[in-house]
Structure 1
Amino acid sequence: MKKKNWLILSHGFNMDGRASSLTITDKIPYLLEASIEPVVFSAITGIKDDRFSHKQFLAWGPAAFRFDFRHWIANQYGRGIFYKVSTGLVSILLTPFIALEKFFLGYSSQWSWAMPAYVHGLQLIRDGKVDVIYSTGGAWSAHLAGLWLKKKTGLPWIVEIHDPLVIRSGPSDPGFKKPKNRDAQFRQYLEKQICKYADLAWWFTDGALHYAKVRNPNLNTPNNAHGFMVLPGAEPPGGLSASKTHQYSECLNLCHFGSLANDRSLSTILKALVPLFKKFPEARRHIRVHAYGAPLDSLTTEVVKNLKFEDVLLAQGRLEKDAITGKSGRERVVEKMQSADVLILLHGNDEWCAEYIPSKFYDYLWTGRPIWGITHRNPQLDQMLLDRGAYLSLQLDTGAIELALERIWLDWKGKQLIQPTWKPIGVDQAVNTILTQVQSRAN
């Protein structure tokens, strides 16, 4: 079979632990098996891949240059004195130029990476080395470069949209109104361009696809993009132990992995502990909430202080590669996931939750541990949780959260926590769907 040459535009390719990176890097083995020869363009922020042609480019704008430089220095030399001095000097030198860039454009920092990606991509296409342009993100600069290349060359362009480009304000807002923020304005424009010029475009939830269709009725019409939904899934994470059996300990360990924010906060759970401790005083000695992978949000910090929960909430920080064991940060995370009694899945409370599923959900499914999902306006996510056996609460229903926490406590005391149904979602199904659509479009 003749190999197809795909130019993959991915700003954050091979960045350890980044969802926007894993979403594409996990697909690569399946693309290679399908006789696709990738050429990857990325920023210098990740680790260079030696399995195929992987070219890394510095962004041309000052804000993105500063961002990329920081990550590159950290990868090369760690975050010690040299990192602090060199990145500090670069920040000082670039500050006036970043201010000008922000004043005149107002875009998110990574926008300018589109320029080197376009220039080098155009040369590659003119050399006859590209059959398909594939932009994925993450940072929308990859899609901007893909759009420019599509308009210039007419080659097939396929687009993978991780998070919605248009952020709606509420259930009654379809996203037509012009945003005040200039970056949001450009993302709104870019979505329209994708729906007009791309050959294929896919979103990661039913909700995201639905609202994209509402805003862009030309989607799925002749001579415009064909839009569909793909569940990104996740590969079985490194460090996963199929033979690991759960051991109950003296503590009920509720574990959250990933980023936190005031709209996705562990304070929701900490507040629900108050009535539980009042009803079951002994629970105060046994329940521990662990936060891995990110700093605590300000709401959580405030609640910990006010309720004196310093011994209840344990901030474990980010797990990096262990120099002694050689285990990667991802392997260490998976070990902690499998040791948890219950995995916490915080969805958030913003309207965009209707179009978003946390990427951590797909990793959780591989661990075989019970999940407690606290969700907001996303029937698709709710159904996937229920289909697999999970504790489920709605973010805005305080009583339901308190009842779920009480049920978890009683189940743990009886050593009868939910045994989840084994239904992980792999990356193979995502790649099969994409390749089927590509083939259908080619015919």
Structure 2
Amino acid sequence: MTAPLPRITNRKRWLILSHAFNMDGRAASQTITDKIPYFLQAGVKPTVFSSITGIKDTRFPHYQFLAWGPAAFRFDFRHWFANQYGRGLPYKVVTTTVSILLAPFIALERILLGLSNQWSWAMPAYLHGKKLIQNKQVDLVYSTAGAWSAQLAALWLKKSTGVFWMTEIHDPLVIRNSPDDLGFVTPRNRDARFRKWLETQICKHADLAWWFTEGAVHYAKLRNPNLNEPGNAKGVMVIPGAEPPGAPEEINLVTQQVEQKQEQKRVEERAKEMQPHHYGIHLVISHFGSLAKNRSISTILNRLPMLFKNHPEARNAIQVHVYGAKVDSLTADAISQHGFADLVIEHGRIEKDPVTGKSGRERIAERMQASDVLLLLHGDDEWCAEYIPSKMYEYFWMGRPIWAITHRNPQMNALLAERNAYISAADDAASIDAALERIWLGWQQKNLMQLAWRPIGVDQAAQRILQLLESMQTAKAQ
């Protein structure tokens, strides 16, 4: 930790709105849940509102609400049932039945509103939150991550009660289509129009707002000039970071007494404890997280034939392991076209192991550390200029070589370059070919380019948020 955490002396009672709170392995959950121990240590007394999709927290009041709309209800119910009973035959039968029953209502919801599924969770969050605020039980509302319904509920609470509101924007609300598109044009899509309106409202009414990348802050300020006013704390960047493997248990111990020297010692010891990597008979390139047409394994699969032409022996040695998602359609086409069914290995979601008790997050960390190379796909859309995958910060803790295929994001490239990662451009086939060959030759020589040990923890994000609050309080007192 770079410095001791500020102690909260005012506005201690936080109402945290997070739809995905305590969902195992979800970035939208980890963004907030990993900060909680640091906030507790600083004297925050949280109350959390979330959906029913995660595990109920026992450290503080945690209320889980069903969304009121049919589409959100279907989504939430699926995750709740899986948490309670697993994903076996009962899950398939029950969730299919619920989906069939809700189908006409979901269709009607989409026709009438055209908003993304989770919008309706804002309604119970708002009503229950307003009651707490009116009963003088809340000093501050903190909306965060994932579904924008949390931001919508917070906006309603701000307008109706005047409560202090701080918010973090996980992903950009306005999706631009090209470098020339600054996001000023009103979108045709109703959900996109609503998100554009919501961004404007956040920038106007929030007391404190931050984004996760320099690019996101830059474009938000272009669209919302009030963010550029001197002393304005609305338009700031906070790097989210990530916690190391086993974070929940370790951080709970650390929260008893965190000092700078102790934290530095913990990081150094973790680096020393990492075992030398074992090179097996296969070069294992692993990808973790969601896939889509704009973030596809096909990006490298379509370049492998060139590598195999120059290095035929690589065909039977390289494996690409896919965790956390089904392959996208472009990847499926590439597998079929090139005959790579034996080369791409799908593992699906890695969840809690009932035998060992290990969480999905812990099991994923083990798979990451056993990989030869961690693949980080950024995507190829314009919004990549405003987005950094949260997986990158997890990768930094693993001590394994990273191969990142990025698009138009100097901040992301700089963070990767500082840590000695392999970097390719998504729109540059030659750079992908070059990286593939370097990785192949490095693996053959058992000398892959090692990642520089410079992880970014969540402690710095929590500290930054607390410092912003402290500085605002000081300025107000003056």
State the TM bucket, normalised to the shorter chain. Answer: over 0.9
The alpha-carbon distance between structure 1 residues 374 and 82, as it changes in their structure 2 partners (threshold 3 A), is: same
Amino acid at match of 1:342: V
Matches within 5 A, 1:28-427: 28-221=36-229, 226-238=234-246, 242-427=273-458
Q: Contact 2:353–2:360 (CA<8 Å) still a contact in 1?
A: yes
Counterpart CA distance in 2 for 1:54 and 1:220 is 36
Q: Distance in 2 between matches of 1:313 and 1:95?
A: 34
Q: Deviation of residue 92 (structure 1)?
A: 2.7
Q: Which residue pairs with 2:263 in the alignment?
A: none
SS at match of 1:253: strand
Aligned partners of 1:253, 1:268: CA distance in 2, in Å? 17
CA distance in 2, matches of 1:304, 1:248: 25
Task: Report sequence identity in percent.
Answer: 64
SS at match of 1:301: helix
Count of residue pairs the alignment pairs up: 443
**1:22 shift after superposition:** 0.6
Partner Cα distance (2:47, 2:276) in 1 = 42
Contact 1:255–1:291, Cα closer than 8 Å, also in 2:
yes
Unaligned runs of 5+ in 2: 1-7, 248-269
Which residue, 424, 430, 440 being the options, matches 2:471?
440
Q: Which runs of 4+ in 1 moved over 4 A?
A: 222-225
Secondary structure of the 1:24 match is helix
CA distance in 1, matches of 2:283, 2:121: 46
Worse overlay, 318-327 or 369-378: 318-327
Secondary structure, counterpart of 1:214 in structure 2: helix
Give the alignment partner of residue 22 of structure 1, picking from 27, 30, 39: 30
**Deviation larger for 21-30 or 404-413:** 404-413
Q: 1:325 deviation in Å?
A: 2.0
- CA displacement 1:229-248 (0-9 Å, x = unmatched): 01100011228893322011
| 2:226 aligned counterpart, secondary structure | coil
Q: For 1:340, give the aligned amino acid.
A: S
Give the corresponding residue for 1:9: 17
Q: Distance in 1 between matches of 2:401 and 2:99?
A: 44
State the Cα deviation string for residues 267-293 of structure 1 (Å, max 9, x = none). 111121111111111111211111111
- Conservation of the 8 A alpha-carbon contact between 2:216 and 2:385: yes
- Deviation larger for 87-96 or 298-307: 87-96
Contact 2:233–2:468, Cα closer than 8 Å, also in 1: no
What is the distance in 1 between the residues matched to 2:232 and 2:453? Answer: 39
Task: Select the structure with the greater relative contact order (CA < 8 A; seq sep ≥ 6).
Answer: 2
- The structural deviation recorded for 1:433 is 0.5
- 1:298 deviates by 1.0
Structure 1 residues 60-69 or 162-171, which shifts more?
A: 60-69
Unaligned runs of at least 5 residues, structure 1: none
Change (3 A) 1:386 1:223: closer
Q: Following the alignment from structure 2 to structure 1, what is the Cα–Cα distance between the partners of residues 405 and 231?
A: 41
Amino acid at match of 2:391: K
**Residue in 1 that maps onto 2:264:** none
The one-letter amino acid of 1:386's match is A
C-alpha RMSD over aligned residues: 1.6
Letter in structure 2 aligned against 1:34: A
